[in-house]
Amino acid sequence: MTVEPGDTDRQVVPRWRVFRRTAEGSELGSLHVAGSQRSNEVAKLRHEVAESDSSWVRADYVSALIASGADADQIVEAASQLLDSDPEEPLRGFALRAISQDSRSAPDVGALASVDQVARLRSLLRVRPRNAVARVDLALAYTIRGERDRARRQVLGALQIAPWSRFVLRSAARLFLHQGDPSRAHAILTTSHVHRSDPWLMASALAIAEIAGERKEVRPARELLAVGDFAESHVTELASELATLEFAAGRDRNARDLFRRSLIDPTENTVAQAEWADSRGLRLDTPSFDVEAANEARFRAHVRASKWQEASMEAATWQADQPFSLQAALFTSFAASIAEDWRTALHGAQVGLVAHPHDPLLLNNAAFAATHSGDIALALHYVSAARASTNAHAKLVLAATGGLIAFRTGDAVLGRHLYESAVNGLVKEGVDVAATAAAIHWATEELLAGSAGAARAVERAQELFSVNPTRENQTLMSRLVVRMSELNGTSWLN
C-alpha cells in the first residue's frame, strides 16, 4: 500500500532551479538596494574588463551583474560586449542566452544533471573558478544525482564568491534544508543581515526558521512588507509566509488578507501555498492557476476533487521541476498509485530515491508499484532495502506491502497475516486513514485470490471505511465494490 505524505505544515521554502529558469521569473529582478559587497565585486570586475581582453573576465562580469540583480539593459550591454569578443563555447551560448532571455536555450533540470552537462560545468569552473552561478548550477546537478558532498562543496564555494547574491543565498539555504540541516540554512540567510532589506530572503528566512525552530523575525518582516517600496511580484513570498504564520496562530482574518496580497502577482510557490491553506479550511477565494509551472497547486486542486489521473500528471510535472524534492516524489508515487498508473508511480518513486536512497516510504511506494507492474523481484529488492528503517509507521506500511507481495506470489496465508498485523498496528498507532487503505487492499487481494477469508476482510474494510471516508479511501472502496459486484458478491455490502 501507499500512504498520503504528511501535509499539515507547508512553508514557503525557496524553489531551487537552474539559474536560467530562475532568471525568467521575478525572483532575480533588481530591488534597487545596493550592498557594499555587491557593488565592490561588480566594480572590481568592471575594472578587470577595462584592463583585459579576456572573454572569461567578461563572462565573470556578466555573471556578477546577473547574480546581483542588475537591470536588464546593463546585463544585455555587458553580454553584447562579451559576444563581440568572439568567444568560444560555452561562453558564446551563455552570452546569447543573456541577451535573448530565451528559455529554449537553457537546459532543463534533467539535462543539467546529465554526465555531459556536469562535465561542461566542471570544465568551465576549472578555467574560471569564481563563477558563482556555475557553481550553484553544478551543485543542483549533484543534488539531483544524489552526490551530497560534492553539492555542498560547490555551494560553499559560491557563498565565498557571492555572499550577497539572492540566487546564491536562497539556493544554498535550499541545499542545506534538503540535506537535513535547517539551522545552517537559516544561518546562511541571516548572518549577513542582507535579508532585512530583501523580501525574497526575508520570506525564506521566516519559512526556514519555522522549520528549524529558530527565532523568527516577524516584526522586521512585517515592516519590510509595509514600508518597503517593492513591486508586488517581489513581496508575494513574504506576504505568503507571513500569512502562513498568522494562519498557524489562529488569526484567520489577518491570514486571508495576507494571502490575498500574495496572490496579486504570485509565483507558482505562493499559489500552491494558497491552495494548501484553502484545503486546510481557511476558505480563500479560489486562486488562479494561470501561473507558469503551477503544477503543485493544480495537483492539490485535483486531489481535492478526487481527479487522480490529473493529479498524477501534475505531480509528475512538479517532480520534474524539483526532482530532488522528497515531497514531490512521495506525492507523485502516491497519486499515481491511487490512479493505478503504475508506470508513473514507479518512476516517481525511483526518481526520488536517487536523492533519498534510504527513505522507507519511497522504498515502499516503489515496491508497491513494482508489484502491481508484475516485477516481484524488483519489489522484493525495495522491501529488503527498506528493512533497515527504524521508523515504526514505515514498518507497518511495509508489512501491508509485504502482504500484497505474498498474495501475488500465491501465499495467501502469509499475505493475510501481514495485512492483518499491519491494519491492527496502524489502528493502534492512531493512523486510521492508512489502516483503512490497508484493509481495503487486503480485501481486494482476498477477493482476487478467491479466498474463504474474503468476507471477513471485506467486513473489516467496511468497518474502518465507515469512519474514515477520505478521498483516496472512497476511490479504493468504490473499486472494491465493483470487484465484489463482478464476483457476484454484492450481498457482502449489506
Q: What is the pLDDT of residues 159-184, one digit of tens each?
A: 999 999 999 999 999 999 999 999 99
* pLDDT value at residue 104: 32
* pLDDT value at residue 34: 43
> 404 in helix, strand or coil?
helix
In CATH, what number does 311-493 get? 1.25.40.10
331, 315 contact by CB (below 8 A)? yes
> 52 in helix, strand or coil?
coil
Choice among 94-108, 345-359, 479-493 with the minimum mean pLDDT: 94-108
* pLDDT value at residue 46: 80
* pLDDT value at residue 71: 65
Instruction: Report the length, in residues, of the chain.
Output: 494
- Whether the pLDDT of residue 37 is over 60: the answer is no
- If one counts every other C-beta atom within 10 angstroms of the C-beta of residue 456, the result is 15
Binned at pLDDT 50, 70 and 90, residue 40 comes out as low
Average confidence (pLDDT) over 405-431 = 97
At 452, list the grid cell.
474463504
Q: How far apart are alpha carbons 268 and 3 in whole angstroms?
A: 25
- If one counts every other C-beta atom within 10 angstroms of the C-beta of residue 147, the result is 18
Average confidence (pLDDT) over 263-273 = 95
Q: How far apart are alpha carbons 235 and 222 in whole angstroms?
A: 11
Average confidence (pLDDT) over 337-357 = 97
Q: How far apart are alpha carbons 225 and 232 in whole angstroms?
A: 10
The domains of the chain are located at: 19-191, 311-493
Classify residue 312 by burial, with Cβ atoms within 10 Å: 0-12, 13-18, 19+.
buried
Q: How far apart are alpha carbons 386 and 398 in whole angstroms?
A: 8
243, 235 contact by CB (below 8 A)? no
* pLDDT value at residue 47: 77
Q: How far apart are alpha carbons 9 and 203 in whole angstroms?
A: 16
The CATH number for 19-191, chosen from 3.40.50, 1.10.10, 1.25.40, 3.30.420, is: 1.25.40
Highest mean pLDDT among 11-20, 32-41, 287-296: 11-20
* pLDDT value at residue 196: 94
451, 412 contact by CB (below 8 A)? yes
Average confidence (pLDDT) over 296-308 = 96
Average confidence (pLDDT) over 114-120 = 86
E runs forming strands in 32-176: none
If one compares 93 and 255, the residue with the highest pLDDT of the two is 255
- Whether the pLDDT of residue 115 is over 50: the answer is yes
Q: How far apart are alpha carbons 284 and 9 in whole angstroms?
A: 17
Q: How far apart are alpha carbons 325 and 327 in whole angstroms?
A: 5
Q: How far apart are alpha carbons 118 and 257 in whole angstroms?
A: 44
The closest of 60, 283, 16 to 155, measured between CA atoms, is 16
Query: What's the whole-model pTM score?
Result: 0.84
At 257, list the grid cell.
488578507
46, 31 contact by CB (below 8 A)? no
Q: What is the pLDDT of residues 138-150, one digit of tens each?
A: 999 999 999 999 9
The whole-chain average pLDDT of the chain stands at 89
454, 462 contact by CB (below 8 A)? no
Q: What is the 3-state secondary structure (H, E, C) of 215-243?
A: CCCHHHHHHHHHHCCCCHHHHHHHHHHHH
Binned at pLDDT 50, 70 and 90, residue 106 comes out as very low
The C-alpha angle with vertex 212 and arms to 208 and 217, in degrees rounded to 5, equals 60
